[in-house]
Copies of this chain bind each other. A is one copy, B any other.
Amino acid sequence: MIIVLKQGISANSIKEVTAKLEAKGVSVSHFSDIKRDFLGLIGDTSGIDTHQLQALTEVEQIVRVEEPYKRANRKFHPENSVVKIDNETIGGGQLGIIAGPCSVESEEQIIHVAKRIKAAGANFLRGGAFKPRTSPYSFQGLELEGLRMLQAAKAETGLPIVTELMSTKWIDEFVESVDMIQIGARNMQNFDLLKEVGKTQTPVLLKRGLSATYKEWLMSAEYIMSEGNENVILCERGIRTFETETRNTLDIQAVPVIKKLSHLPIIIDPSHAGGMSYLVEAGAKAGIAAGADGLMIEVHDDPANAWSDGEQCLTPDEFAELMVKARKLAEIEGRSIQEASTILTK
């Protein structure tokens, strides 16, 4: 961290600022050019609050050279992380394909969709049991009953389960019944929830907040990791911009940027990004071409009667077609997608 001091500062003031900084446990080196003085902070500056330093009257500007995240930082962990989720992994050569309905609606529905997506090549089942809805008057999910139905679908198909946790209240139930806990975009900075999932060892799918910068997103991953749970997978699902024709703007550059800054796997959710089914194929293929480690795609047997987010769902047939194209693309990129099968095995 470099601190640029205001012009015309006295030697005494420099001493005072230096003393204040050293009291924070860092070493300070002083250098200057003709016009200005600078202080370089050496040591672990991750706990230093630049907002506080900025309040010092002597300070013109602060430049953080080091990133504030450590465990999520590729500098300290150069190899890609591969996260193990039940009998599958995300982050290695095979892409993680997560599919399923927005909401779990019935045991019959979720089992049926699970079989169809597995047959097409998906290796994870998603389905919302607790739903974050903008309106308190909208369907809020089947809750614990939904979790039970997801388990029934796993028992039928063997697909590991991914579902969203919205409250620390249900954390024990999730650890017990779920293979990967999803933290939704709206809760990306629900620090209380992040700390609690950080205390478990269940893999966490951390969606990017609607207006979160890459750094804030990685700092949220850091919250989970700093509590001991290093099994974090990032999910880009569109950011909020001025464009209203699409629900959100899929930030495809998130893939190469996160790959540079961090060792964590990153997947793409084209269903929520665009908010319309006709946008899913382009988003999914762009994600693979950009180097993502997987996809999360909403699939519903009867989108027009889905209990939530119907307009962005693919039908199982559309999903199967997409997987055929995605598989070819993945191969060109030196990755793979699980083979499609017509015979279902547990």
Answer whether residue A29 sits at the interface, using C-beta atoms and an 8 A cutoff: yes
The answer to whether B283 touches A260, judged by C-beta atoms less than 8 angstroms apart, is no
Neighbour of A68 across the interface among B137, B279, B303, CB < 8 A? B137
Give how many copies assemble into the complex: 4
The answer to whether B40 touches A29, judged by C-beta atoms less than 8 angstroms apart, is no
Answer whether residue A15 sits at the interface, using C-beta atoms and an 8 A cutoff: no
Answer whether residue A12 sits at the interface, using C-beta atoms and an 8 A cutoff: no
Complex Cα spacing A62 to B332, Å: 37
A104 CB, nearest partner CB in chain B, Å: 16
Complex Cα spacing A279 to B256, Å: 6
On chain B, the residues within 8 Å of A250 by CB distance are 251-253
Answer whether residue A38 sits at the interface, using C-beta atoms and an 8 A cutoff: yes
Count residues on chain A whose CB falls below 8 Å from chain B CBs: 109
On chain B, the residues within 8 Å of A46 by CB distance are 135, 137
Tell me which of A227, A242, A286 has the highest count of chain B C-beta atoms within 10 A of its own C-beta: A286
Would you list which residues of chain A between 207 and 259 have a CB under 8 Å from chain B?
Answer: 210-211, 213-216, 219, 222-223, 226-227, 239-246, 249-253, 255-257
The answer to whether B33 touches A40, judged by C-beta atoms less than 8 angstroms apart, is yes
Contact with B along A128-166 (1 / 0, CB 8 A): 000011111111000000000000000000000000001
Answer whether residue A343 sits at the interface, using C-beta atoms and an 8 A cutoff: no
The answer to whether A35 touches B31, judged by C-beta atoms less than 8 angstroms apart, is no
A142 CB, nearest partner CB in chain B, Å: 16
Neighbour of A138 across the interface among B4, B47, B167, CB < 8 A? B47
Would you list which residues of chain A between 48 and 66 have a CB under 8 Å from chain B?
Answer: 49, 51-57, 60-61, 63, 65
The answer to whether A249 touches B256, judged by C-beta atoms less than 8 angstroms apart, is no
Answer whether residue A106 sits at the interface, using C-beta atoms and an 8 A cutoff: no
Complex Cα spacing A195 to B167, Å: 11
The answer to whether A213 touches B244, judged by C-beta atoms less than 8 angstroms apart, is yes
Task: List the B residue with the shortest CB-CB distance to A224.
Answer: B136
Neighbour of A133 across the interface among B191, B227, B282, B289, CB < 8 A? B191
Would you list which residues of chain A between 303 and 319 have a CB under 8 Å from chain B?
Answer: 303-313
Task: List the B residue with the shortest CB-CB distance to A291.
Answer: B282
The answer to whether A55 touches B306, judged by C-beta atoms less than 8 angstroms apart, is yes
A51 CB, nearest partner CB in chain B, Å: 5
A50 CB, nearest partner CB in chain B, Å: 9
A215 CB, nearest partner CB in chain B, Å: 7
Complex Cα spacing A80 to B200, Å: 47
The answer to whether B38 touches A31, judged by C-beta atoms less than 8 angstroms apart, is yes
The answer to whether A167 touches B186, judged by C-beta atoms less than 8 angstroms apart, is no
Neighbour of A282 across the interface among B68, B139, B290, B307, CB < 8 A? B290
The answer to whether B166 touches A191, judged by C-beta atoms less than 8 angstroms apart, is yes
On chain B, the residues within 8 Å of A29 by CB distance are 33-34
Sort A-B residue pairs by CB-CB distance and give the 4 closest, nearest first.
Answer: A55-B310, A31-B31, A211-B211, A54-B311
